[in-house]
Structure 1
């Protein structure tokens, strides 16, 4: 990423929710912004890195990210931290103590929930953290609100001396809208003040802070009742009223424009008095919330009768097409048939990029037999799919290490001869994998670890990490050497190999040999992601049609540049019927990596002949 170029002037700007949050953070005078990349939150920090006058970093994981922001707040600076929903699980250790110490400089933590699981392993609801940690939660419905709430969050944080959670969702993060933006206001740091009773959370100090936390929550509850972010729209159709927050508010207004709605911008603590007033106005009350019934349960606990997840799904987005028929059935109205039938969409399963260095890894793993493969979180998780089917598990960031050790130590008699392999990416290894490898070496696990070093956080857009040699703004930075790192974590030097994943025989030999050794070993692949500047494209390949025998070996590599031209069934002399698959290479997409050439039995794949342009003599003037 280039160095900051200066922010656009105050005006009406077309922005995604993520970009709007970034703009607000910059305008707030924040001096420190941190994050670990994770869809759908990534663009917040990417955008902030383009603004001047504040420090930005990609942290090694979400816990460190939050801790850096906490330190900046302790120093009296406004600070910002962003993460996706599952990232809060990693940061929770810091968060649950931060709620006791409180903050000095305003601290906003943006949490992007992946409602609908666009790019996540679960759909957990981050609003639980506000209740668990007794912290206020703001919920934006669109880009303008994301901008305004991020700005407001710093004021709220400093008013109550606590972090403020800004809950975003995938739709708000990525949908663009016009935002009325302003100017940056400079806010110098006020300085760190020594106060061990507040900042040193030994049991005695923590016990004295707990009553302060509950008193703060009581004041926040009173504040929520009068907050301008919680608005009761009276409406005219009193048959049903709604309580809604986030993008669900917009969906309710579209589905039932005449109904009363309590729109919650500050959704926790819940404005119960306003909700009770709405319930008294209408015949039925329905809570529209994605995904868990948190508001619904709180209303019922307060004696307010409400519908919610009894008529609406507990997962996925609550679009008007979902809300309207459910509520119409509730009030006894007929549900109209859809005006048009949805046309089936041709299935397009996710796949790896053309010439991705992981293709060779999974092709090789798919050729191994008698092996259990523990996978991890990243674009390489796609190795579980066709044509490789080369992953047996994926749980969370870094889990491949511990799970591989557990598979080794807990193996059944039927698995006694099976080899255990763990596959993890470079950024994921630095995020949460190092501890797992230390556990493997310390406890003498019989595990072979594959670290796929492609010099990028590939799945979220190619961001830098501590092993790329660049910081968030593209400036040179120290680069971690994986071979030295894993040796320091206890792997013997003889059991560490660095391999080019495009050299299939070398990779296969390394895997076969290391899995035979009954001690921890590590194989590091060392080719860059094809989507970053480090990758060098070579002369593409093509298929000689008359030489192709239809063996189909090239398709097993899984490269999207290889296309099927035709199928043909033939009967072998043995009487067995086989299907031949004839290939063509999309030369415009091919990068010349050579992976498909190596398994091609008839040697029908060759370099595309370079186009030689005739030299046209230049006439003298």
Structure 2
């Protein structure tokens, strides 16, 4: 009679890639975790903070550079440390990163970077795998949630084995797609303590130069480790006409599209395991490198003398899904190309991204749209949407904090043609603290003629309402010191008389202040102080409705841009002058309206009034 196993069944969880990384960080015995929120990486730190673990400190840092420096400090005292960011955030952290690659790390130091392949929520599409090459660091690429857990956890051991940071490169597809995860047994790691070693940690040239050679020695050891890594594996296949080298979620697309083809699946993609790639190339007629987005592996394989195809067959941007792979490979093999069937597109009413009902930024852009002869330098955040309809009130948006430097450049570079044009910079509270403060200091120091609109909504709105130093709460929602933006701007060189704190729902006051400040030839700051409608600080008031008989169809209320206002019918009338005027009659969705009153102020016929109190309203914004 066979024995019956009494071992407990393994725990199975259903997690996104971000949640799986967070669990791995916790189970690996990490002591310090820091990040700046940015889609698609935000949920990693949120998950860590949501379930506090004894001995694990978590924080939202003011920017990605600071988060990496906090993690490095923890590593220097022998603790395991972690930081997370999106791809453009690693650009910000690169100043610290490129020196840490020389110093190395002590306690396990893991950097999770999330690439937004396809640019669903980013201003560019960059390939963070370059940082593994540039910084001479090992780089791991999970393809699903289980690998996100396994690789993030293994990254701490790899970091301590080679005394260097390890990069875990995720993509949007991995970050947000959920899958089954079987976690391992949690570990506990105690910090070993800080050992003073100025030759290692004080990176003056005399100390840095001798350490560079050890970085290249580490490269050789890492290459050998990559050849033996369990994360690099050969998936056998019977169809030898073509073989694939791939990594990350692209592996899933390859297996779905070509289940009979042999595949070299790279989990530790840097350093590249050339011996395994060379072995696969010898067994197939053609070798195709499938990678999102840059041809890094392809270039390295060709440099090593391994014949392969890549971006000459596949597109250089976007996800390499089956509907992209199958036609491309069919052409490569000389087979008929079968176009995948597509459902006919329905004629839908266009739904561009817009701001929320009663968003405090609505009044800002309504006002800016009324101001003439002004150049508006924008920034990264919810308020970037001011570039769209109906406002069309942003002229540039480049990177975090760029509104300040761009505005100063506009001011200093303008010629006679722009002599009478005012320059305005628009920036949010979290972005200002992330990278805008230095720009404002540059404006005041160099006597720039710029008016700054600092939009304080007490949260990091675009990425989901995270706390920041201006919200008065920390990552756990506990009370924390709150930045006084007026005093901060004064400390950065703006004269106290040129700093105004206003309610963005008061349109006449806002318009008057903007008109006055843009005429004064020195730096000035207008701070708008209203909380985001999606956070607990916001207090709704009774909603409004439209008296249909009084509405003249002037559409002034539509210029505010509030999505709670709906057009019920359109009409046109011909005036005695012969001019045709388009009319738009409206109603207000009272279930969404929070009573901010923005639409009331431009309504000339006074057709917008409070809804009757006997009709109770459930505010939808509290349910989001």
CA distance in 2, matches of 1:603, 1:308: 64
C-alpha offsets along residues 269-304 of structure 1, whole Å, 9 cap, x if unaligned? 000110011111111110000000000010111111
SS in 2 for 1:460: coil
Give, in angstroms, the shift of residue 341 of structure 1.
3.2
Match of residue 45 from structure 2: 45
The answer to whether 1:16 aligns with 2:11 is no
Match of residue 324 from structure 2: 322
The 8 Å contact of residues 323 and 340 in structure 2, kept in 1 or not, is answered as: no
Match of residue 444 from structure 1: 447
Give, in angstroms, the shift of residue 122 of structure 1.
0.3
CA distance in 2, matches of 1:413, 1:289: 50
- Alignment equivalent of 1:478, drawn from 481, 494, 510: 481
CA distance in 1, matches of 2:410, 2:382: 23
Match of residue 245 from structure 1: 247
The 8 Å contact of residues 357 and 501 in structure 1, kept in 2 or not, is answered as: yes
Match of residue 386 from structure 2: 383
If the length of structure 1 is used for normalisation, what is the TM-score? Answer: 0.96
Match of residue 280 from structure 1: 282
C-alpha offsets along residues 197-253 of structure 1, whole Å, 9 cap, x if unaligned? 000000011101000000001100111111111101121000000000000000000
Equivalent residues in 2 for 1:372-451 (5 A)? 372-451=375-454
Give, in angstroms, the shift of residue 50 of structure 1.
2.0
Match of residue 64 from structure 2: 62
The 8 Å contact of residues 10 and 183 in structure 1, kept in 2 or not, is answered as: no
CA distance in 1, matches of 2:34, 2:615: 50
The answer to whether 1:503 aligns with 2:489 is no
CA distance in 2, matches of 1:138, 1:584: 53
Give, in angstroms, the shift of residue 182 of structure 1.
3.2
Give, in angstroms, the shift of residue 348 of structure 1.
2.1
Match of residue 619 from structure 1: none
C-alpha offsets along residues 88-121 of structure 1, whole Å, 9 cap, x if unaligned? 1100000000001001100110000000101100
- Alignment equivalent of 2:232, drawn from 207, 230, 233: 230
SS in 2 for 1:535: coil
CA root-mean-square deviation: 1.1
CA distance in 1, matches of 2:168, 2:345: 37
Give, in angstroms, the shift of residue 612 of structure 1.
6.9
CA distance in 1, matches of 2:454, 2:575: 42
CA distance in 2, matches of 1:342, 1:97: 53
CA distance in 1, matches of 2:345, 2:95: 47
Give, in angstroms, the shift of residue 413 of structure 1.
1.2
C-alpha offsets along residues 570-606 of structure 1, whole Å, 9 cap, x if unaligned? 1012110111011111000000000000001111000
Give, in angstroms, the shift of residue 342 of structure 1.
4.5
SS in 2 for 1:458: coil
Alignment gaps of 5+ in structure 2: 1-8, 617-624
The 8 Å contact of residues 381 and 461 in structure 2, kept in 1 or not, is answered as: yes
C-alpha offsets along residues 289-342 of structure 1, whole Å, 9 cap, x if unaligned? 000000001011111111111011101111011011100110011112323435
The answer to whether 1:603 aligns with 2:606 is yes
Match of residue 151 from structure 1: 153
CA distance in 2, matches of 1:340, 1:474: 47
The 8 Å contact of residues 374 and 392 in structure 1, kept in 2 or not, is answered as: yes
Match of residue 138 from structure 1: 140
The 8 Å contact of residues 327 and 339 in structure 2, kept in 1 or not, is answered as: no
The answer to whether 1:543 aligns with 2:546 is yes
Pair 592,213 (structure 1): closer, same or farther in 2 beyond 3 Å: same
Pair 435,24 (structure 1): closer, same or farther in 2 beyond 3 Å: same
Pair 195,345 (structure 1): closer, same or farther in 2 beyond 3 Å: farther
Give, in angstroms, the shift of residue 468 of structure 1.
0.7
CA distance in 2, matches of 1:271, 1:453: 50
Match of residue 204 from structure 1: 206
C-alpha offsets along residues 362-394 of structure 1, whole Å, 9 cap, x if unaligned? 000000000000000001000000000000000
Match of residue 622 from structure 2: none
CA distance in 2, matches of 1:458, 1:338: 39
The answer to whether 1:348 aligns with 2:357 is no
Equivalent residues in 2 for 1:448-463 (5 A)? 448-463=451-466
Alignment gaps of 5+ in structure 1: 1-8, 614-621
CA distance in 2, matches of 1:300, 1:222: 20
CA distance in 1, matches of 2:351, 2:202: 53
Match of residue 371 from structure 1: 374
Q: How many residues align?
A: 605
Equivalent residues in 2 for 1:253-292 (5 A)? 253-292=255-294
Pair 514,10 (structure 1): closer, same or farther in 2 beyond 3 Å: farther
If the length of structure 2 is used for normalisation, what is the TM-score? Answer: 0.96
